[in-house]
Structure 1
Amino acid sequence: MTQARKHNFANWRAVALLSVWGLFAIHFIHWKLNGTTLAPLELNEVLYTIHQGIITGGFILMFVVMIATLFLGRFFCGWACHILSLQDGCAWLMKKIGVKPQAIRSRFFLWVPLGAVFYLFVWPQIAMYLGGIEVAKLHVAKADSDGWSSFVTDDLWRNLPSGEIALSTFFIVGFLIIYLLGSRSFCFYGCPYGALFSIADRVSPGRIILTGDCVQCGVCTSNCGSDILVHKEIKKYEMVTNDRCLKCLDCVGGCPEQALSFGFTKPPFFKKTSKLEVYKERYNFTLWEDISMAIIFILSVLIFRALYDLIPFLMSIGLSVVTAYLSILFYRTLTKQSSKLRRAVLKISHRITPIGYTFITFCICYFSLTIHSGFIQFHSFRGQKIYESVIADRSSTLNPQMLENALIHFELADDFGLITPLRIKKQIASIHLFRGEDHKAIPFLKELVVEAPEDIETIGRLSVIYMKQKNFYAALPYLQKLVELQPQNPQSHYNLGMANMSIGKYELAAIHLKRAIRINPSYEKAKTGLSRISNYRKEFTE
């Protein structure tokens, strides 16, 4: 039997992928040292260009990569994607410990990336058109001057998730999905950007082509991490036509006959090549199982998307793919004669194995948590919608019944949720304030100040409540914080001055009232306050 020679490109590709993480580190260090830096070169920054018209580094990167893909194919995916580096790293580690990634093939999962593309890029345009919203013109924004997006920034982490969420996302899309569904499965079953690049790849002349004598040994196929039947495509088309090809060149480097190379030829789109029939014979699920997974996936996305205001879109896609797959495997374990999770036998000859019972227990716990998350997500969503409709209706006073309904939903999310997002705490506090229930708002406002110590709105609300109650000692720390956060705001100095005057600290009161006048010379209320202090001093002297 012909033996595969050592790969020529694997080491170079490993260096390229590791260099991407090195560039991330350099970018971070530059931000820390310089204070401002280029906004994150994340492809999701394209969304800010679509929604706000602001040209971002991510938009420019996407544009350049799309142009390159039109000519060279999906080289970016194989040689420069940080998520691909995690997936291939996971597959490499699995092989080192004797666990070979096993491809799980589904009709439905193939459509997930295209659905994500529609949701991210197409639907917002439709929604803006239907809502009569004018599409923003392309422009370059100054650093963070237009909210959440700009070409440069003084907050590199502004649109990125927390470290814990980022690591969780990397674990799910870079490791867990690979273990369950096979090598590079997130690229083909979840990544919306990969879907766009795969469309561009169809018209790209850059391909893996036959340049020697192929003996159909199949080594190229066994080396392919994208689950492509390379030897069969080479035999029929003399090139790889499958748009899953990431141009990693593992098939080229592994060919014992040196019959393959990267080159240029007429793209498959213009040759009108059809998909090999053998691909249709390799699905791991029945049609009804795929339909069931589609339904479960959609419900899971609705549950996980922005759950607790934490889970980002790609993580929700990854979790939903995993949930759909585990649901079918769980069903098979309960109802079929036998079932397996990779090499682990869950059930054989109608008998559930100990590993199978462990799997069933895990699934019950996981699905229970998912249902609980759905409960929280529903009440958070309904409360938000009712709250927004009340606030948006400026034609009359706030509807007390609708406020009550919103409060019920928010309180259910607060009482039963694993955590309560700042947004919900703030809106519960707002509803209590609208209803004149200041004492009920105070605990939520205090929690908000602890979690977001620079939230001017929340600090201001607390100070106003305590000033209304004439609890000046309680108001002082919050008024002082407002002055620290807004040293040039005359209102903040005025309020702090009046609170100090109310408790007899006339010297401090005079200092802040004078500062308020210095900032705004026409501030009559501050001048009146100073006059009162002067009168008090005269009375005290007499």
Structure 2
Amino acid sequence: MTRVETELPLALPHRERCGTAQGFGGSTRAKWRWAVLVLVHIAVIAHIAHWKIAGTTLTPLEPSEAGETLELGLVNAGFLLFVGALLLTLVVGRFFCGWACHVVAYQDAAAWLLAKLKLKPRPIRSRLLMLVPAYAAIDMFVLPTVGRWLAGRPAPELAWHLTTNDLWERFPGPGMALLTLFVDGALIVWWLGAKAFCTYGCPYGALFGLVDRAAPGRIRVTDACEGCGHCTAVCTSNVRVHEEVARFGQVVDSGCMKCMDCVSACPKDALFFGFQPRLTRAVAAPLAARVAPPRRWDFSWPEEIALGLAFAGALFAFRGLYGAIPFLLAIGLAVIVALGCVLGARTLRLPTLRFQHWSWKRDARLTRGGAVGLSACAAAVLFTAHSGWVNGSEKVGTRALEAAARLPRASAERGAGLERAVEHLHRARAAGLFENATLLNKLGQVEFELGRRAEAEAHLRRTCELEPEWESAHVALASLMIASGRTSEAVELLLGLLGRQASAQSERLVATALAREEVSAERIEQFGRSASRERAIAVLEQALRLRPELDSARSALTRLAGAAD
């Protein structure tokens, strides 16, 4: 048994009498960086307020929006921001991450609060988990394009998409957004150290880190440096600053986010930000070998493999769970669960173990903190396994549904495929802990095609209750009602949806009912005066295209158009 095994994470050797606890001052740049990050959040609030007041606004300034550009060809503000940030990083390094990223702000705030509580977490160092951000970047920005190529679909034509009337369209709901920020901005810091999500989860950070390697802008050092290590003590990006400047004359770790804490905290003013050509491998190798300490990791290779497998399993379990868990939240949860698996195994295997600031096991006996921690690990593993069963059942059912949809209608093979899909989807619903509108919508539409109208209507009604603005569920439920001879009820359902949002399918169904005189033109006119004149006019115009001689619709259209003038 080694010290590496009994202490997680391993406390790396450091200079004595170094750090704020020893009387040295902290960073004087931190307050300026916090002021900038506060301004970033004020800008976000102003953006949301403008959308709420004006009804339309600039598309989200979020790097994830670049996926829409690559997949659909829509050049939005998020894509332009991401490209601009990458170009900036190519010159000055990762300033954008340190000074403008809201998730970095939450992680730094969590680390500050934990330090105030005397619980400052040390960084976990894992070889395989460091590959997660690269995987996430490939998943978000490369695989959709590769999938399009393999399917033989042409590249989309580029088109400007700088404004939107639904700022939140591609984001999770408020509750899930807050949970994402809590897990990726706070909980992961408590378990894996400062800026842990940047290290083990952020897909944008992977790209920024790659570009940073070519940036001439670096933290550099003068001959005044005495190697005191105070710079490393104040660094919140887990960079071994004093070692890197001793080896290379500059910080080369792509994890450096140019927060400038080390520069402001240096008692000799030996550090500064400057420009210098990138070190080539031929130059860097002998410098690194000159004074290179051995790289220390917290896990053996068997444990690293266990971490990788646990992460993959947890990501499968959480991604898209209950139709709600977004990708980046699933990554944060999966990283934490993977660590919990290895931590739990060590706790059971070793007679002594200390994790972060808690002693979990001493003299082959669990401490009180260890009992709580081990119980939490076990609960997390059980919840993950259950989530994997639920999510896996839904995914199998969805694949069966997609396969059946490609078969001819009314064929025996299609019917058998739909039955298999229903079986797996019902299994997922029965095992689930929460209602899943996505699952209910699939069940409702499949059972409608199979002729089980009562079951289909119950599922679709519940879907509409859970997701009042979900167009596909409302249209499917209305189609079921029309097929059952309840057209007027279907029209009222669709008019309710049209009163809240645009829906081309709803307009078409209502116009068809009007053309067949299954709903009166007066009802559409009333809807136009009380809810949406624009959508009522669109319905009346479509009805007249289907049946030009419908005088009641023409009269209603004339009155609404006149009211608009």
Question: Under a length normalisation based on structure 2, what TM-score does the superposition of the two structures give?
Answer: 0.84
Structure 2: distance between partners of 1:21 and 1:263: 29
Do the aligned partners of 1:44 and 1:58 also contact (CA within 8 Å) in 2?
A: yes
**Is 1:412 aligned to 2:424, yes or no?**
no
Among candidates 486, 491, 496, match of residue 479 of structure 1:
491
* Letter aligned with residue 210 of structure 2: I
Radius of gyration: which is bigger? 1
* C-alpha distance after superposition, 1:251-288 (max 9, x if no partner): 11110011111111121346642467866532111111
Q: Quote the residue 2:514 is aligned against.
A: 493
d(CA) in 2 for partners of 1:59 and 1:321? 27
Q: Note if 1:210 corresponds to 2:224.
A: no
User: What residue in structure 2 maps to residue 56 of structure 1?
Assistant: 76
Q: 1:131 to 1:248 in 2, by over 3 A?
A: same
Tell me, yes or no, if structure 1 residue 432 matches structure 2 residue 444.
Answer: no
Q: Output the amino acid matched with 1:329.
A: L
TM superposition shift of 1:302: 1.2
Matches of 1:218 and 1:394, distance apart in 2: 71
Partner in structure 2 of residue 143 of structure 1 = none
CA distance in 2 between partners of 1:509 and 1:325 (Å): 59
**Which stretch of the first structure deviates more once superposed, 299-308 or 269-278?**
269-278
- Asked whether the 8 Å contact 2:544–2:550 carries over to 1, the reply is no
CA contact (8 A) 1:207 1:262 kept: yes
SS of the equivalent of 1:498 reads coil
C-alpha separation in 2, matches of 1:207 and 1:88: 22
Q: Distance in 2 between matches of 1:511 and 1:348?
A: 76
AA of the residue aligned to 1:70 = L
Match of 1:387?
401
Q: What is the CA deviation profile of residues 432-461 of structure 1, one whole-angstrom value per residue up to 9, with x for unaligned ones?
A: 222222122121122123223355554454
1:293, 1:324 within 8 Å by CA — same for their partners in 2? Answer: yes
> Conserved in 2, the CA contact under 8 Å of 1:329 and 1:339?
no
Letter in 2 for 1:297: F
* 8 Å Cα contact 1:7/1:254 also seen in 2: yes
1:228 aligned to 211, 215, 239, which one? 239
1:50-72 Cα offsets, whole Å, 9 max, x none, are 11111111111111111111110
User: Which of 358, 376, 386 is the matching residue for 2:390?
Assistant: 376
Paired amino acid for 2:217: G
1:4–1:255 CA contact under 8 A, matched in 2? no
Residue 177 to residue 279, structure 1, CA distance change in 2 (3 Å): farther
Which residue of 2 is the match for residue 344 of structure 1? Answer: 358
Question: Where do 5+ consecutive residues of structure 2 fail to align?
Answer: 1-16, 499-505, 528-536, 554-565
| 1:68-104 alpha-carbon deviations (Å, 9 max, x no partner) | 1111011111111111001111111111222222111
The answer as to 2:313 corresponding to 1:299 is yes
> In 2, distance between residues paired with 1:215 and 1:124?
50
1:79 is matched with: 99
Q: How far did residue 293 of structure 1 move?
A: 0.3
Q: How far 1:423 sits from its partner (Å)?
A: 2.4
Please list, as runs of the form range in 1=range in 2, the aligned pairs for 1:77-476 lying within 5 A after superposition.
Answer: 77-140=97-160, 150-269=161-280, 272-274=283-285, 280-394=294-408, 397=411, 399-455=414-470, 457-463=472-478, 465-466=480-481, 469=484, 476=488
Aligned to 2:89: 69
Letter of the 1:118 counterpart: I
Kept in 2, the 8 Å contact 1:228–1:245? The answer is: yes
- Quickly say closer, same or farther: Cα 1:459–1:225, change in 2 above 3 A: closer
* Pairing partner for 1:32 from 32, 37, 52: 52
The alpha carbon displacement at 1:199 in A equals 1.0
Contact 2:448-2:480 at 8 Å conserved across structures: no
Q: Which residue, out of 43, 57, 61, partners 1:23?
A: 43
- TM superposition shift of 1:109: 1.5
| Alpha carbons 1:186, 1:318 under 8 Å: kept | yes
The 1-side partners of 2:265 and 2:451 are apart by 74
Conserved? CA contact 1:345–1:356, under 8 Å: yes
CA spacing shift, 1:212–1:332, aligned 2, 3 Å: same
Q: Which amino acid aligns with 2:438?
A: R
The answer to whether the 8 Å contact 1:47/1:120 transfers is: yes
1:476·1:499 contact (CA, 8 Å) conserved in 2?
yes
Q: Tell whether the 8 Å contact from 1:498 to 1:529 is kept in structure 2 after alignment.
A: no
Q: Give, in whole Å, the separation in 2 of the partners of 1:217 and 1:184.
A: 24
Separation in 1 of the partners of 2:354 and 2:129?
A: 20
Percent identical residues: 31
Counterpart residue identity of residue 332, structure 2 = G
Q: Which amino acid aligns with 2:108?
A: D
Structure 1 stretch 517-526 or stretch 13-22: which is displaced more? Answer: 517-526
Change (3 A) 1:362 1:282: same
Describe the SS at the equivalent of 1:427: helix
Is the deviation greater in 366-375 or in 441-450?
A: 441-450
* Residue 29 (structure 2) aligned to one of 9, 18, 38: 9
- Cα RMSD, aligned residues only: 2.9
Task: Find the aligned partners of 1:128 and 1:464 in 2 and give their Cα distance.
Answer: 32
SS in 1 for 2:152: coil
Q: CA separation in 1, counterparts of 2:227 and 2:523?
A: 89
What is the count of residue pairs matched by the alignment?
A: 510
Amino acid at match of 1:158: E
Q: 8 Å contact 1:490–1:520 — kept in the other structure?
A: yes
Q: 3-state DSSP class of the match of 1:273?
A: helix
Q: CA separation in 1, counterparts of 2:541 and 2:209?
A: 63
Q: Distance in 1 between matches of 2:240 and 2:468?
A: 57
Aligned counterpart, 1:503 = none
Tell me how far 1:161 sits from its aligned partner: 0.8
Q: Distance in 1 between matches of 2:252 and 2:104?
A: 21
Find the residue that maps to 1:345 and give its secondary structure.
Answer: strand
Distance 1:269 1:81, change over 3 A: farther
Per-residue CA deviation, residues 128-182 of structure 1 (Å, 9 max, x unaligned), is 2222121223221xxxxxxxxx321011111111111111111111111111111
**1:526–1:401: structure 2 CA closer, same or farther, 3 Å change rule?**
farther
Change (3 A) 1:42 1:508: closer
Gapped runs of 5+ residues in structure 1?
141-149, 501-505, 531-542
SS in 2 for 1:102: coil
CA distance in 2: counterparts of 1:509 and 1:95, whole angstroms: 62
- 2:512 touches 2:546 (CA, 8 Å); kept in 1? no
The letter for the 1-side match of 2:267 is: P
CA contact (8 A) 1:517 1:523 kept: no
